């Protein structure tokens, strides 16, 4: 599966492929967005096991004048070893959420497997694109129809309605990203 998104709030695009590799899943993509000195070009990959629990991730590229090279690896006991983590960060989060792409909503949506009317509160391993550090991010997903989820980030007091494909890939992330057919 491949998806291309256009960024809505600033110039940009994100292209992602989702492939099965044995029993694992790999989300691999490239995001380019921003303008002038705030421009970014980032290659990323997130690996998930058969249950869609994130097991590893990396981001490589640049943002403005900064070179970005970040890795995260989940141990067998569920804790994360991150090359760039906020001070005091400790998490056993099952999902990686790369804050600059809609691709990583997929792993939480697939892992949760919510039926219409169900909801779940989770904590994700979130990469904050403001300082490029991993942090714990409390989130809530409510499945409101076959192709829609109410999404809430408690930390940012942010809430929106995500439109998704039948496979769980975000098609519309209001104000931020829209899939291009």
- How much is the pTM? 0.93
Q: What is the pLDDT of residues 60-118, one digit of tens each?
A: 999 999 999 999 999 888 889 899 887 767 777 899 999 999 999 999 999 999 999 99
Question: What is the pLDDT at residue 118?
Answer: 98
Nearest one of 78, 80, 40 to 59, comparing CA atoms: 40
Burial zone of 24 (CB within 10 Å; 0-12 exposed, 13-18 middle, 19+ buried):
middle
The per-residue pLDDT for 88 is: 67
Q: What is the pLDDT of residue 89?
A: 73
DSSP state of 140: E
Work out the pLDDT band at 174, boundaries 50, 70, 90: very high
Scan for tokens 């490029």, then name that residue.
132
More confidently predicted of 156 and 16: 16
pLDDT of residue 9: 94
pLDDT, residue 160, reads 96
Average pLDDT over residues 154-168: 93
Tokens for 6?
Answer: 């256009």
User: Could you read off the pLDDT of 10-44 as tens digits, one per residue?
Assistant: 999 999 999 999 999 999 999 999 988 889 999 99
Q: Read out DSSP for 110-122?
A: HHH-PPTT-EEEE
Element spanning 107, H or E: helix 105-112
């Amino acid at each position: 599966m491949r998806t291309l998104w256009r960024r809505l709030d600033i110039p940009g695009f994100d292209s992602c492929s989702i492939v099965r590799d044995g029993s694992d899943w790999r989300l691999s993509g490239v995001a380019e967005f921003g303008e002038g000195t705030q421009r970014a070009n980032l290659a990323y990959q997130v690996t998930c096991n058969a249950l869609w629990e994130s097991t590893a991730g990396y981001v490589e590229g640049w943002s403005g004048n900064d070179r970005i090279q970040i890795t995260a690896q989940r141990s067998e006991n569920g804790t994360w070893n991150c090359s760039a983590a906020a001070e005091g960060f400790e998490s056993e989060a099952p999902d990686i959420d790369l804050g600059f792409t809609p691709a990583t909503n997929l792993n939480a949506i697939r892992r949760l497997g919510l039926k219409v009317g169900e909801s779940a509160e989770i904590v994700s391993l979130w990469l904050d694109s403001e300082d490029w550090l991993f942090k714990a991010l409390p989130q809530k997903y409510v499945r409101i129809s076959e192709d829609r989820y109410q999404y809430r980030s408690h930390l940012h007091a942010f809430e929106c309605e995500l439109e998704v494909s039948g496979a769980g890939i975000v098609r519309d992330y209001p104000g931020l990203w829209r899939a291009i057919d």
